[in-house]
Amino acid sequence: MAILEIKEYGEPVLREKAIPIKEIIPEILNLIKDMAETMYADSGVGLAAPQVGVSKRIILVDGEEDGLIVLINPMIIQSEGEVVEEEGCLSVPGIYSKVKRLSKVTVKALNENGDSIEITKEGLIARALQHEIDHLDGILFIDRIGRMERQILLNKLKKKKQKNSV
Ligand code: NI
């Protein structure tokens, strides 16, 4: 197991459309283990494979009482309502903004054993599921906020990076 490097805003892999998994080979299972270790090391509530530089359709969310949820080729098949809450991303460090999301989602996917599963979640986990599935399509949470606010946040991010590089 290993903690992987998190790709940050500006890395092209975060903007790619990730490729579906055809077969769950040992290499994929190892990647999932490393992703889980990375997510918990960074206290994230979710992680998508493109965030560790792998353009494949795999996401993880911490399902609280359900423990770790691994979803391969996830798809939202049902939803209910809308809710606005603050959100952040390990790939856009230090930046938080209110984002409108569906309040309840049902996601269909394969688990790590290759079984077809469906999960229905509300609240923080529903939000994390939508955020991580967005990553698989090259979408970041800052794409889902107003143009002016995005510009302000991106300037803040730029200044932070300059500080870190000195
Ligand atoms: Ni993210």
CA of 8 to the centre of ligand 1 (A): 10
- pTM for the predicted model, two decimal places: 0.94
Total Cβ atoms within 10 A of residue 76: 14
pLDDT in tens, the chain (166 residues): 799 999 999 999 999 999 999 999 999 999 999 999 999 998 889 999 999 999 999 999 998 788 999 999 999 999 999 999 999 999 999 899 999 999 999 999 999 999 999 999 999 999 999 999 999 999 999 999 999 999 999 999 888 877 776 5
* Closest to 50 in 3D by CA, of 24, 89, 85, 96: 89
Indicate left, alpha or beta for 119 from its phi (over 0: left) and psi (-120 to 50: alpha): beta
- Report pLDDT for 64: 78
Q: How far is the CA of 137 from the centre of ligand 1 (A)?
A: 12
Question: Residue 118 catalytic?
Answer: no
pLDDT at 163: 76
Which pLDDT score is estimated for 162?
Answer: 79
C-alpha 48 to ligand 1 mean position (Å): 7
Q: Is CATH 1.10.150.170 the right assignment for the domain spanning 12-165?
A: no
φ, ψ of residue 86 to 5 degrees: the values are -75, 145
Compute the distance from residue 90 Cα to the ligand 1 centre, in Å: 5
Rounded to whole angstroms, how far apart are CA atoms 65 and 104?
A: 17
Cβ atoms 50, 13 nearer than 8 A? yes
- pLDDT at position 159 is 87
134 CA to middle of ligand 1, Å?
A: 8
Taking the centre of ligand 1 as the mean of its atom positions, its distance from the CA of residue 89, in whole angstroms, is 4
Return the pLDDT at 166: 57
Point out the catalytic residue in the list 80, 85, 122, 132. 132
All residues with CB under 5 Å from ion ligand 1 = 89
